[in-house]
A = this chain, B = another copy of it.
Amino acid sequence: MKTYSDTTYAILGILTTDCRSGYAIKQFIDQSLHHFWKISYGQIYPTLKSLVEEGLAEVQISSTPGKPDKNEYSLTSKGKETLKNWLEQPIKQLPVERNEILLKLFFSRHQPKEKTLLLLESYKKDLESRFQTYAAIEQAITKYHDTSADTMYWLFTLDYGKRITKAAVEWCEAAFDKLLHEGV
């Protein structure tokens, strides 16, 4: 079976919701996948076009009077098949996430400790504010949505974000202390 980029599968997945236009897809991503996936218009529109060429989706122009025309996409059975097939495959390999803070830290012997401490502190602040964002979204979901199956999967992704962020904060603190006390 032919394989596509993960972004293609993401769009395939979104087309199972009632987001059917490029514009709506972008909104969906910005609202719901924002913490682990981003796509720009510059990629969405060309991808939608290629989905049609590949026979994974069909397009239909919908004109609502008083609103701009839009291209509404919907999955073909081949598209649904492709999505399901991708869902059950284990991931190709654990990604090596490029990490800017680790890269800086790795070479930080070339700068005074105080500067490295400031770097860590600033990073920690960013992480903490990210954690708060996740917690707030989680709150909002559990409050306003019922605990349906759909919601559960959504919450999984937020829980992941929270756990990873928390671990990173703890690492920051540990590294900070070590730097302070080591070799003074």
Contacts and interface: CB of A to CB of B under 8 A. Distances in A.
Interface of A: 6, 9-10, 13, 16, 32-38, 83-84, 86-88, 90-111, 115, 118-119, 122-123, 126-127, 130, 149-150, 152-154, 156-157, 159-160, 163-164, 166-168, 170-171, 174-175, 178-179, 182-183
A118 B126 CA distance: 34
Given A96-B35, A110-B87, A163-B170, A157 B122 contact: no
A163 to B, nearest CB: 5
B107 A13 contact: yes
B94 A153 contact: no
Contacts of A90: 118-119, 122-123
A37 B99 contact: yes
Contacts of A178: 152, 156
B150 A109 contact: yes
23 contacts: A6-B98, A13-B106, A16-B107, A83-B107, A84-B110, A91-B119, A92-B100, A95-B98, A102-B157, A105-B156, A105-B157, A109-B149, A149-B182, A149-B183, A156-B178, A159-B175, A160-B168, A160-B171, A163-B168, A163-B170, A163-B171, A164-B171, A167-B167
A80 to B, nearest CB: 8
B36 A94 contact: no
The residue in A105, A150, A166 that gathers the most chain B C-beta atoms within 10 A of its C-beta is A105
B171 A33 contact: no
Contacts of A123: 90-91
